[in-house]
Amino acid sequence: MNTSDKDINRLTKKILKEGMVEPSPDLSLKIMDLIMQEEPLKVPEVKKVKLHSGMPPFMIVGIIIAYLVVFAGLLMFVGQLPAGNASHMLGGLKEKLPFILTMAVIAGSLIFYSTLDKVLALRY
C-alpha cells in the first residue's frame, strides 16, 4: 500500500474528527461553579517564637547601676579613711585600675550585647 504523506495526514485528521466529541457550552459554567464552591486554600499561621531569657533587660541595667553605686561607695569609703591607710589603698587601687576597668567593660559589654541579641530576636 503506497500512500503519500498527504493521504496519511488526511486520514488521520478524519479519524480524529470522528472520534472527538464537542463539549457542551454548559461544561465551562459547571467547571466554574465547582471552582467557586471550593474553599480557598488556607494559609497556615506562623506563630512567633518567644524566647524566655533568664532576666529582663531592665533588671540587667539595674544590676549594672547597682554595681556602679557599690563601686562609688567603695571609693567614698576609701577616701574617708585616715591619711596613711587611704593613700596606701589608693596607690594599690591606681595600679589595678586599668585591670578593673577592663574587666568592668568586658562584663558590661557581654551583658549588653547578649540582652540586645535577645531583644532583636524577639522583635524580628
Q: If DSSP codes are grouped into helix, strand and coil, which group holds residue 4?
A: coil
Q: Write out the three cell numbers for 32.
A: 466554574
pLDDT in tens, 20-69: 666 677 777 888 888 888 877 777 787 766 656 566 777 777 788 888 88
Q: Are 28 and 100 in contact (CB under 8 A)?
A: no
pLDDT in tens, 102-120: 888 888 888 888 888 888 8
3-class SS shares of the chain: helix, strand, coil, % to 5: 75, 0, 25
SS3 for 41-69 is CCCCCCCCCCCCCCCCHHHHHHHHHHHHH
- The domains of the chain are located at 5-37, 57-123
